[in-house]
Amino acid sequence: MSASRDSVRPGPAPAAADQVLVVADDEDLRNRLAADLTLLGYLPAFAQTLDPPPVGPSIALVAAGAEPKEAIRVSEELRSAEGFGHVPLVWLVDPADLWVVAGNEHLCDEFIRLPYAAEELAARLRLLGLRTGRDGPDVVHRGPLRLNTSTYQAILEGRVLDLTYMEYELLKLLAASPGRVFTREEVLARVWGYDYFGGMRTVDVHVRRLRAKFGQDHAWLIETVRSVGYRFAQIRG
């Protein structure tokens, strides 16, 4: 399985460096994808086995390989693996093997014919990011976190967070101004409103819930400023 040798021109780069997981057994294909994805501003990661699965990809590229049904098996594993349920899957398929897509649309969000054209790869990844709410004018990027302010979706390293409305509003307030300290009084006024009669403890409870949903590896994104309030960590992206 070989890829065409057209060159790719850098297009609009992802707003943050997205990790793209590539599962392929063809060395030439892996090498070309590594070069093209890097040039497009993505961070390629490669795997021939999903044990243990890589952490935090935003998109997964799965090559059907010599056995087209291999894409089905790999995609089923990805869909069921912890942290991968919401990761968009793109199949790389030889034209003669497109039959494998029929009936398995639930396992691939997009497909690209091999040998792939680099410009098509760039366009399809960009459109997939827009379609899944991972990119676009309404998306705020803060390191591993993405907030889509039009769909109220929060994505942390490819994992969609299950947030309540108030948790999302609190996170949006903090993430909109990384490094700025918000007092508890200010958070209550701007998130809950001046007519809210709850106590300051409400803010602390919601921050704890957010950190718990972030998980231990990302709880540091919301910093406590002792005796004052909270701020979102200053990070790139």
Domain end, chosen from 75, 97, 131, is at 131
Higher pLDDT, 70 or 13: 70
**Same domain, yes or no: 60 and 97:** yes
pLDDT tens digits along 18-65: 778 898 888 899 999 999 998 888 888 887 655 555 555 678 888 887
Residues 104 and 32 in one domain: yes
CATH of the domain at 186: 1.10.10.10
151 and 214 co-located in one domain: yes
23 φ/ψ angles, rounded to the nearest 5 degrees: -115, 105
Residues 97 and 172 in one domain: no
Instruction: Determine the 3-state secondary structure of 146 from DSSP.
Output: strand
Residue 70 belongs to domain with CATH number: 3.40.50.2300
The answer to whether residue 11 is domain-embedded is no
Residue 5 lies in a domain: no
Q: pLDDT for 84-138, tens place per residue?
A: 777 889 999 999 998 988 998 888 889 999 999 999 998 888 888 777 666 656 6
Rounded to 5°, the CA angle 96-76-129 comes to 80
The answer to whether residue 110 is domain-embedded is yes
Residue 153 has pLDDT above 70, yes or no: yes
Phi then psi dihedrals of residue 44, to 5 deg: -75, 140
CA distance 118 to 164: 40
Cα(171)–Cα(14) distance, integer angstroms: 22
Instruction: Quick: pLDDT tens for 219-237.
Output: 999 999 998 999 999 875 4
Residues 219 and 179 in one domain: yes
7 part of a folded domain: no
41 contacts 67 by C-beta, under 8 angstroms? no
Residue 126 sits in the same domain as residue 24: yes
Over the stretch 170-209, which tens digit does the pLDDT of each residue have?
999 999 899 999 999 999 999 998 777 777 889 999 999 9
Q: Which two tokens stand for residue 54?
A: 């890589």
108 and 33 inside one domain: yes
Q: Based on the fold, state whether residues 89 and 164 are members of the same structural domain.
A: no
pLDDT band at 2 (very low <50, low <70, confident <90, very high): very low
Looking at the fold, whether 97 and 168 belong to one and the same domain comes out as no
Helix axes 201-214, 165-176, angle to 10 degrees: 90
- Enclosing domain of residue 186: 139-232
Q: Which long-range contacts (CB under 8 A, 24 or more apart) does 209-213 make?
A: 209/167, 210/163, 210/167, 210/170, 210/171, 213/161, 213/162, 213/163, 213/167
Is the residue at 13 inside a domain? no
What is the Cα–Cα distance from 16 to 143, expressed in whole angstroms? Answer: 7
Domain boundary among 131, 161, 184: 131
Q: Is residue 72 part of a domain?
A: yes
Q: What percent of the chain has pLDDT over 90?
A: 34
The reply to whether 118 and 28 lie within a common domain is: yes
Total domains in the chain come to: 2
